[in-house]
């Protein structure tokens, strides 16, 4: 039986950050990663250049049923702390738009940075771990194809359900159920929108066109479906998630930062209102 103070399941952005910080505090840390390499989603992030933080990050930009969690987390570790880490590793960066910071070269630099922090902290990383199961609580007993482990603290950093090809699995949700941790029903966020029927045909014809728009989600309480005409009557609807960013027509629907943002606020039955001339009076 191997023992670690802290065992982390998942070697993505969250797991590696957690591992390095815990290791630097003098704890013995083991990371169990399911795929053949760590940080695969980081590699594809930001179109290969990882949008690693935002100058305007604050708790109001996070959707959570517990907003105080984001406030306390961000007050203890800010975008400036992460930027200092990036600069410590000599990674060149630039600001794109709206405070978004990207690597000049490659997302690989961010993975290398996290790996180097983990190595310096003596973290042990095991890849291609399969059939992970967790039994008793405190100390936890964890078993996988690499053997048996016990640990004082167990961190589940297996990420979300999207892109199983990158290693995503539902292990985190299964373990939450096993240990009676309350769960929010998972739903898609930061995703492009796809349509059928006439809206699909319109988007298809315009695919490749992009423009800055103002976009918002409107919901009418108690109504399953919002009629397009009711959107004009602003006092009868709740407007959430207002963004002024670029929208892109695609072969299947709508994408671009504006639509990715607003997708996180949309629920079935809500309408999405797109102002194609933000700040411009079309009549004039
Ligand atoms: C195309 C794309 C572009 C993006 N661009 C950006 C960007 O520029 N900036 C940004 O901040 N965010 C970006 N994101 C989002 C960002 O990638 C994620 O928010 C982030 O990677 C989540 O980190 P995580 O550690 O929580 O989960 P993940 O990165 O998903 O890591 C989870 C890890 O757990 C492992 N795992 C899962 N199940 C098991 C199991 N059963 N056993 C063992 N291991 C398991 C997985 O293999 C994975 O390594 C992008 C996402 C995508 C898809």
Q: What is the pLDDT of residue 222?
A: 55
| 41: phi then psi, degrees, rounded to nearest 5 | -70, -30
- Whole-number pLDDT of residue 236: 54
Distance 229 CA to ligand 1 centre (A): 40
pLDDT digits (tens, 9 = 90+) for 64-122: 889 899 999 999 999 999 999 999 999 999 999 889 999 999 999 999 999 999 999 99
Q: pLDDT tens digit string along 13-33?
A: 999 999 999 999 999 999 999
193-275 CATH fold: Elongation Factor Tu (Ef-tu); domain 3 (2.40.30)
Query: Residue 137: what pLDDT?
Result: 66
- Distance of alpha carbon 127 from alpha carbon 144, whole angstroms: 11
By CB neighbour count within 10 A (0-12 exposed, 13-18 middle, 19+ buried), where does 138 fall? exposed
* Substitution candidate for ligand 1 out of 11, 41, 133, 149 with most atoms within 8 A of CB: 41
Q: How many CB atoms lie within 10 A of CB 151?
A: 23
| pLDDT for res 28 | 98
From first to last of the 284 residues of the chain, give the pLDDT tens digit.
Answer: 899 999 999 999 999 999 999 999 999 999 999 999 999 999 999 999 999 999 999 998 888 889 899 999 999 999 999 999 999 999 999 999 889 999 999 999 999 999 999 999 999 999 999 999 999 867 999 999 999 999 999 999 999 999 898 889 999 999 999 999 999 888 899 999 999 999 999 999 999 999 999 999 987 665 544 333 334 444 455 777 789 999 999 999 999 999 999 999 898 888 899 999 998 998 99
Residue 48: its pLDDT value, please? 97
**CATH superfamily to which 2-178 belongs:** FAD/NAD(P)-binding domain (3.50.50.60)
At 108 the pLDDT is 98
Any atom of ligand 1 within 6 Å of the Cβ of 129: yes
The H or E element spanning position 173 is: helix 171-178
CA 266, CA 230: separation in Å to the nearest integer? 17
pLDDT score, position 227: 38
What Cα–Cα distance (Å) separates residue 282 from each residue in 29, 85, 182, 245, 271? Answer: 60, 47, 49, 19, 22
SS3 content of the chain, % helix, strand, coil (to 5): 30, 25, 40
CA 281 to ligand 1 centroid distance, Å: 42
Q: Which of 9, 45, 82, 94 to mutate to test the pocket of ligand 1 (most atoms within 8 A of CB)?
A: 45
DSSP letter assigned to residue 163: -
- With a 6 A CB cut-off, is 14 part of the ligand 1 pocket? yes
Q: Is the CB of 220 under 6 A from ligand 1?
A: no
Q: Cβ atoms within 10 A of the Cβ of 6, count?
A: 20
Choose one of 11, 13, 18, 49 to mutate for the ligand 1 pocket test, by most ligand atoms within 8 angstroms of C-beta. 13
At 217, which helix (H) or strand (E)?
strand 210-219
Atom of ligand 1 nearest to the CA of 160: 30
Domain locations in the chain as residue ranges: 2-178, 193-275
């Amino acid at each position: 039986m191997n023992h670690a103070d802290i065992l982390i399941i998942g070697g993505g952005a969250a797991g590696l950050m957690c591992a390095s910080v815990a290791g630097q505090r003098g704890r013995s840390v083991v990371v169990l990663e399911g795929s053949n390499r760590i940080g695969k989603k980081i590699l594809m992030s930001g179109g290969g250049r990882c949008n690693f933080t935002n100058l305007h990050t604050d708790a109001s930009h996070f959707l959570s049923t517990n907003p105080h969690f984001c406030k306390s987390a961000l007050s203890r570790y800010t975008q400036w702390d992460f930027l200092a880490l990036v600069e410590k590793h000599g990674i060149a960066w630039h600001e794109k738009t709206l405070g978004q910071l990207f690597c000049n070269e490659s997302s690989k630099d961010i993975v290398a940075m996290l790996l180097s922090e983990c190595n310096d902290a003596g973290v042990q990383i095991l890849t291609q771990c399969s059939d992970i199961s967790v039994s008793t609580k405190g100390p936890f007993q964890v078993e996988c194809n690499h053997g048996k482990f016990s640990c004082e603290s167990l961190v589940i950093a297996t990420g979300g359900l999207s892109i199983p090809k990158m290693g995503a699995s539902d292990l985190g949700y299964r373990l939450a159920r096993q240990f009676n941790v309350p769960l929010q029903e998972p739903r898609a966020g930061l995703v492009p929108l796809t349509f059928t029927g006439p809206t699909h045909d319109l988007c298809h014809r315009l695919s490749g066109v992009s423009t800055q728009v103002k976009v918002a989600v409107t919901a009418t309480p108690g109504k399953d479906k919002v009629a397009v005409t009711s959107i004009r009557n602003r006092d009868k609807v709740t407007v959430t998630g207002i963004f002024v960013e670029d929208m892109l027509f695609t072969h299947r629907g709508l994408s671009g930062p504006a639509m990715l943002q607003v997708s996180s606020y949309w629920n079935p039955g809500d309408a999405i209102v797109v102002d194609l001339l933000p700040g411009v009076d079309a009549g004039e």
